[in-house]
Amino acid sequence: ASILVLHGPNLNLLGTREPGVYGSNTLADIDAELQLIAKERGHHLQSMQSNAEYELIDRIHLARPEGINFIIFNPAAFTHTSIALRDALLAVDIPFIEVHLSNVHAREDFRHHSYFSDIALGVICGLGAQGYQLALHAAMDQLNQ
């Protein structure tokens, strides 16, 4: 099956950005590891990062005609602001798992609300880069059901 991994704003700086909060893995490290795991299990995985809300929206729109079966999404700061990205996911009706590297519930109040959690299949936060791998394993199990 086809899996799309989407990373929101500032995640391109992973590895150098607040390493105490977000860890020392770069986004390229994370994506490469996910690629490997998906390939081993016979799935096709692609990743995309953008700092622009409209690019993420356009990518989600494209996912439907492209035949993407599952999305793993770290919306980053758009988690807490973007009705437009929520609407895009509702529109394409592709199941997704929401991932956050940090435990957003242990941080500032404004990070406690997500525009995605109630429409996500599941939410993983606080486990660093491993959260993406756990999400991928869960996605592949879902796809094999």
124 makes contact with ligand DQA (CB under 6 A): no
Q: How far is CA 2 from the centre of its chain?
A: 14
Q: Is 86 in the site for ligand DQA (CB under 6 A)?
A: no
Task: Report CA-CA distances (Å) from 133 to 30, 52, 136.
Answer: 9, 25, 5
**H or E segment to which residue 88 belongs:** helix 83-92
At closest approach, how far in Å is the CB of 21 from ligand DQA? 7
Q: Is 22 a catalytic residue?
A: yes
Query: Is 102 annotated in some ligand binding site?
Result: yes
**114 binds ligand DQA per the rule CB under 6 A:** no
Active site residue 132: no
Q: Which residues bind ligand DQA (CB under 6 A)?
A: 10, 74, 76-77, 79, 100-102, 104, 111
> What are the residue numbers of the active site?
22, 100
